[in-house]
Chain A
C-alpha cells in the first residue's frame, strides 16, 4: 500500500502543481520561470500582509500585557480560512475528482485512493495555514521572543490546526451535496448556501476581530473567551502556547481524531459514496415543447451566465471581490466619522481623502477577480464545439467578458450606493463612483480574458485547478493589484503635489480605467482572436 500511495500521490501532485500543467507548454522555459516568480510574489505578498497585521495588533495589545490575543485571533482566523476553503474545495478533491473513474479500477485499495485524495486536500490547506498562521507566528516570535513551548505549539499548530476545519468542511460539503443531489437547481442552491455561509462566517469573525484598538485592549480577555466559545480549540492553543502540555495534546487530539474517524467512515464505502454524490437528477418523461429562439450573442451570453452559476466554486472564487465590496459597504458605517478622528485635517481635505480611499477600494474590489480569467480554460474538452460552429470568435469573447460584468455589476451597484449614502457623498461624486465601478468591471472582464488567452489551461481534472491554481488566475490578480496601485498612487501624488480635489482625481482614475478598458478590449479582440485559433 505504501508504495502505491506514494506513486499515486506523486502523480496527483505533479498533475496539480506542475508548471507545465498550469497553462503553458513544457518548452516555454521563460514562462515557467516567470510563473514561479509570479506565485512567489503572491506568496510573499500574502505573507507580508499577515506579518503587517500581526505587527499592528502586537503594537496595540502588547503594551497592555494582552499579547496572547494574537495567537488566539490568528489560530481562529486561520481555521476560518481553512473552513471556507474546505467548504469550496473538499468535494472537488474527494468526491468529484475527474481521475477517480481511472483510479478505482486500478489494483489499489479504495482506502489508499482516499488517503491520496485526503493528502492532496490537506497539502493545499496547509499552504493556507502556513501563510496565515505560520507567518503571524514567526512575526510574533520575532516581536516577542521565543519560548520552547511556544515554538512547539506554533509548529504543531500550523500543521495540525487545518485538520478540524477540514473535517467540518468535508462533512458539510458532503451532507449538502447528498441532500440536494436530486434537486433541479442544485448548483444554484449550492452556490447560494456557500455564499451565505461564507458571508456569515466573515461577518461573525469581523464582529469579533475588526474592532477599535482601545476596545480590543479594554476587552481582550472577553474577546479571547468569545473567540474560544465560537471555536473552542483556540483556548487549547493559547493555553498550550503558554506552556500547558495537556492543552497541546488535547489540541492535537481534537483536530486529528475527527479526521481519522471521518477517513475511516468514508473509506468503508468510498466508491459507493462517490457514486451517490455524483448521481444526477434525471427524468425520462420529457415531452417536446417549443422553447423560442435567440440571437447568437444572446444564446452565448445565456450559456456563459449559466456556466458561472452552475458552479459554486467558480462563482465564489471569481466573484469573491464582491464580498470584499459588500464588506466595504458595512465598513462605511464605521468610517463615517473616521476622517476627523484619523487625519486631523480640515473637513474638506478629510472628505477628499475618504472619497479617494473609497474610490481606490471600489476599484480594487471590482477589478480584483473576474469570471473571464478561467472562462477559456473551462471550455477544455468542449472547445471543439466553439471551433466547429459558425460563430465569430469576437462574439464568443464579448459574451464571456460581458458575463463577468453582468454577474458582478448588481452587487457592485448596491454596495457603492450604500457606501455613498452612508458617507454622504454628493450625487455627482456618487455617480462617478458608480461609473468607476462599471468601467473597472469591464476592464477586468477583458483583462481576465486576455490573461486566460495568454495562459490557457485545457488539461485540468478538477475545475479548481483552473479557477484557483492556474497561471492565468495568479497573473490576473498580480495585474489587477499593480494597476490599482499605480492608478490610485498617481491620484495620491496628484493630491499631494498638485492639490487637486478628489472629484477631479477620481475622474482622472476613471479615465485611466476607461483607457485601459479600450486597450484590453482591442488586445483581446485582436491578438486574442489570433491566439484563440492556435489553442488546442
Chain B
C-alpha cells in the first residue's frame, strides 16, 4: 500500500507545484491520476519515485519510507516516464538485463519473463538493435518490458498509452489488470478520460497542485460522466 501524506513540492517560492497532497493506493488498485496540463501530475509521480526531492510530507510503501530507506522502497516499484529516454548506446536486451541485474532478477525468471513480455509487446526481434534506432513507441514498450520483468509491487506510469499502438495499448491494459489481480497496484496519469473510466477502480483529480477529488471512481463521478466532472472541476 502506497501512502502519500501532505506531499508538498515547489519549484519557486511563489508557487507550489504540489500542495499538501495526500493519497492512499491500496493493493489491487488501478488508480488513475488526471488533471490539466501543468496541474502537478508529473511532479507528484516524480516525487513519489524519488526522482525529485520534495519539501515536506511523507511517502511510504508498505511502511517503508521513501526518504529513510530509498533503496528498499524503490526495490518494490517501477516507474516509466511519459517520454522514456533510455541508454541509447545499449541494445534493448542489454537494457532489460541491466535493470534485471539492478533488481536482482534470477536467471530463471529472466528466461521466463523476458520472452513472455517481449513477445506480447512484439519487440523480441528488435531487442538486439541499439535503443538509438528505436521509435518512441518501441522505447515505451522496452521500458514496460524492463519494468514488468522485475515484478514490481507498485507500477507508476506517466501517460503510459501515449505513443503505443492500439494492440500494445490493449496488451498493457491486460498486464496492468494481471499485476493488480496478483496483489500489485498501479498509479498512472492520463489525459484519456475514457481509458481512466474503463480501466481504473479509483481516480484522483488534481488542480493547480491540490487534490480536488479522489476515491472510488463511481463515488467520484456520481451521476455524472468523468468528462463532465473533469470539466466542472478543472
Contact = CB atoms under 8 A, between A and B. Distances in A.
A294 B101 contact: yes
Interface string A285-307: 11110111111101100010011
A381 interface: yes
B172 interface: no
Contact of B72 (A187, A284, A299, A390): A390
B103 A390 contact: yes
Interface in A463-491: none
Interface residues of A, number: 39
A388 B50 contact: yes
A392 interface: yes
Contact of A281 (B93, B100, B130): B130
A2 interface: no
Contact of B93 (A187, A291, A296, A310): A291
A389 interface: yes
A286 B51 contact: no
A283 interface: yes
A391 B126 contact: no
Interface in B26-55: 46, 49-53
A63 interface: no
A376 to B, nearest CB: 15
Interface in A171-227: 187
B98 A306 contact: no
Interface in B187-202: none
Given A293-B101, A390-B102, A392-B71, A533 B129 contact: no
B51 A388 contact: yes
Interface string B199-217: 0000000000000000000
A contact face: mostly helix, strand, loop, or mixed: loop
A290 B125 contact: no
Nearest to B67: A533
Interface in B84-108: 85-87, 89-90, 92-93, 97-107
B144 interface: no
B118 interface: yes
A298 B104 CA distance: 12
Given A296-B101, A389-B74, A382 B53 contact: no
Interface string A517-536: 00000000000000001101
Contacts, number: 116
B124 interface: yes
A299 B98 contact: yes
Contacts of A346: none
Interface stretch (B109-117, B159-167, B221-229): B109-117
Contacts of A307: 87, 89
B98 A282 contact: no
Contacts of B71: 390-392
Nearest to A187: B89
Of the listed residues B92, B102, B106, B107, the one surrounded by the most CB atoms of chain A closer than 10 A to its CB is B102
Contacts of A387: 49-52
A1 interface: no
A389 B149 CA distance: 14
Contacts of B124: 286-288
B98 A303 contact: yes
Given A387-B51, A391-B71, A288 B85 contact: no
B88 to A, nearest CB: 8
A497 interface: no
A280 to B, nearest CB: 3
Nearest to A307: B89
Nearest to B111: A290
Interface range on chain B (Cβ under 8 Å from partner): 35 or more
B132 interface: yes
A306 B129 contact: no
A390 B78 CA distance: 10
Nearest to A286: B128
A390 B152 CA distance: 12
Given A381-B85, A388-B50, A536-B52, A292 B107 contact: yes
A95 to B, nearest CB: 14
B86 A382 contact: yes
A303 B115 CA distance: 23
Given A284-B125, A286-B124, A389-B102, A534 B53 contact: yes
A295 B51 contact: no
Interface in B64-78: 70-75, 77-78
A286 B93 contact: yes
Nearest to B132: A280
Contact of A288 (B46, B52, B86, B114): B114
B107 A293 contact: yes
A375 to B, nearest CB: 13
B107 A303 contact: no
A307 B86 CA distance: 12
A106 interface: no
B110 A281 contact: no
A388 B49 contact: yes
B79 interface: yes
Interface in A336-386: 380-385
B77 to A, nearest CB: 8
Nearest to A391: B102
A287 B123 CA distance: 10
B102 to A, nearest CB: 5
Q: Which 3 A-B pairs have the closest CB atoms?
A: A280-B133, A286-B128, A381-B85
Given A288-B111, A389-B74, 20 more contacts: A280-B130, A281-B133, A286-B93, A286-B124, A286-B129, A288-B93, A288-B127, A290-B110, A292-B107, A293-B101, A293-B105, A295-B101, A299-B97, A310-B89, A384-B46, A384-B79, A384-B81, A388-B77, A390-B73, A390-B103
Interface of A: 187, 280-288, 290-296, 298-299, 303, 306-307, 310-311, 380-385, 387-392, 533-534, 536
9 contacts: A285-B125, A292-B107, A293-B105, A303-B90, A310-B89, A387-B50, A388-B78, A391-B102, A533-B53
